[in-house]
Chains A and B, each alone.
Chain A
Amino acid sequence: MICETSGRKRAAGLFLIFALMIPGSMKFLFIFALSARLLPALVAEKKMRFFLSLPFSRTELFIYSFLLGFSLIFTTNAIGWALFDSGSSPEFLKYFIFYAFYFGMTLIYALKIGSMMLLPMLTLLFDLISPFVATEFFAVYSQFSPIYQQNQPLALAVSVAVLAISYAMFVFGRGEKW
C-alpha cells in the first residue's frame, strides 16, 4: 500500500524535519528515527510488494530511499547550521556516517527477521552505553562507533560496509519476507 498521509503522520513528519535542524546530540536520535522509517519500514511492514509491482528495480528503490533520507539530513543540517550554529563546522560527514550505518543496519534486521525497531534500538542503545562497558573495549569500539567516531575514516569505512551489505542483501537476497 502507498504510505498513508494522515494528519498525525504529516505532523510527525514536520516535527522530524524541524528536529533535524536543531544542533546537538539529540539529532542522532532523529536521524535514527528517519533511517528506520525509509526502506527498512517498507520491508518490515510488508509494503515492498506494492512498490516492486511498479516499474522500479530493487536497486532503484534502495538508492532513492537512501538518497531521500540523505538529502533530508543534508538540507536540514545546512539550514540548522546557518540558523543556529554557523560558528562551528557543519559536521555533515559525522551525520552521514551515522545515517548510513543505521539505514543499513535497520534494513538488515528488517530483511532477516522482519523486525523494524527493537533490534536497531538495542544496537543504538549499545552504541550509546559502550563507554560504560569496559575501558579497553571502548578504546577499540569508539574508533569506528557510528556515534563516537574517534577514527572518522575507519567509522566511515564501517558504515559504508554495513550499507553495502544491506544493499547486497536487499538486491540479491532470495528469502523475501514480503
Chain B
Amino acid sequence: MVISLENAVKIFGKTRVVDDVTVKFRSGNISVVVGDHGAGKRTLLRLLAGELKPDSGKVIAKPGTSKGFSYENGDFSPKLKTADLCTVWMLLYKNFDIKIFRSMLAEGGIAENSRFSHLSNAQKSWFSASLLIASNADIMIFDEPLKYFDSEMKIRFLEILDNAAKQDKTVIVSSNEIVDFEKSAGFVAALSNGNLVLSGETETLLASHRLMPGASTISPDFKVIGPVLNERLVETTDEVGRNATLKEIVLGYVNGSSS
C-alpha cells in the first residue's frame, strides 16, 4: 500500500507550513517523518490522513484504502471510557482486532473501563495507538507516539509497529528525534521549515553518506551536504572519513538547508 504527496503545499495565514513536498510512503517498513518543532510534521501527517486538504498539489492513495490517525496523547473527551471508544472503533473499522486491543491495553496497564481523563499521558498515547494498531487500517499514522513513553514502552511499541509494517501496513510516524528510530526506521523524511530536505530508505542513506573532519580538504567529487558539529556530511559511497549515523545524516541535511 502506498500513499504519497505530490508537490503538496499547505498555507496557514501567510506561512507555508508544508512547502512543495513530494514524498512517497510504502508499506513493509516504518516510515519516520522527522523535524524540529514547527517544521511541518503534524501538518504533513494531517494532509496524509485527509484531515486537511493541500492548497496545491495532491495526496494520492488507492481508493478504498482505510486510514487511521493517532494523536500523541489521544484527543478524546475526558469523560469517555476506554470501552466506549473501543465500541466506536469496532463499528468503524471492520477488521478491528479486539484481541490485539485487549492485549495492548494489558501491556499498557490500562483497565478496560478506565475514564480517559484518569489515564497518564503515556497511557493516553498507548491507548490511542492501541486503537489504531487494532483497527488494522491499511495506513496507520502516528503523531509523536513515543513522546511520553519510557524506554521499555518505546522498545515494545517499536516492536509492535514493526510487526504491523510486516503485515503490509503503511506505518508512518512523526518524531522530533530520529534517535529512537535509529534501528527501526526503514524510510526517513526530514522536514525543515516546511521543506522536505531529505527522504530515502535508511539503508541507502547510511551507505551513501560519510562524515569528514571539518578542517579536511574534501574532494570536489563529493557532494557536501551540510555541517554536523565539527564535521561535514558528504554524499559518497567511498570509504572516507567515518560512517554517519541516521541522526547525523538528518542533522547534516537540516543544517545544510538552512546555511
How far apart sit A57 and B85, CA to CA, in the bound complex (Å)?
20
Grouping DSSP codes into helix (H, G, I), strand (E, B) and loop, the A interface class, with mixed when no group exceeds half, is: loop
Q: Is the CB of A49 within 8 A of B77?
A: no
Shortest CB distance B11–A (Å): 9
How far apart sit A52 and B70, CA to CA, in the bound complex (Å)?
11
Q: Is the CB of A55 within 8 A of B92?
A: yes
Give residues 1-42 of B contacting A (CB, 8 Å).
none
In this assembly, does A91 line the interface, its C-beta being within 8 Å of a C-beta of chain B?
Answer: no
Chain A window 1-31, contacts with chain B (Cβ cutoff 8 Å), 1 for yes, 0 for no: 1111110000000000000000000000000
Q: Is the CB of B49 within 8 A of A52?
A: yes
Shortest CB distance B140–A (Å): 11
Shortest CB distance B196–A (Å): 20
Give residues 104-136 of B contacting A (CB, 8 Å).
none
How far apart sit A178 and B54, CA to CA, in the bound complex (Å)?
14
Number of chain B residues close to chain A: CB under 8 A:
25
Q: Is the CB of B55 within 8 A of A174?
A: yes
Q: Which of B61-69, B182-190, B198-206, B214-222 contacts A (4 or more CB under 8 A)?
A: B61-69
The one of B52, B69, B71, B80 in contact with A176, judged by C-beta atoms closer than 8 angstroms, is: B52
Given A1-B75, A2-B80, A53 contacting B137 (CB threshold 8 A): no
Q: Which residues of B contact A (CB under 8 A)?
A: 46, 49-55, 66-71, 75-77, 79-80, 84-85, 88, 92-93, 137
Q: Which residues of A contact B (CB under 8 A)?
A: 1-6, 48-50, 52-55, 57, 172-174, 176, 178
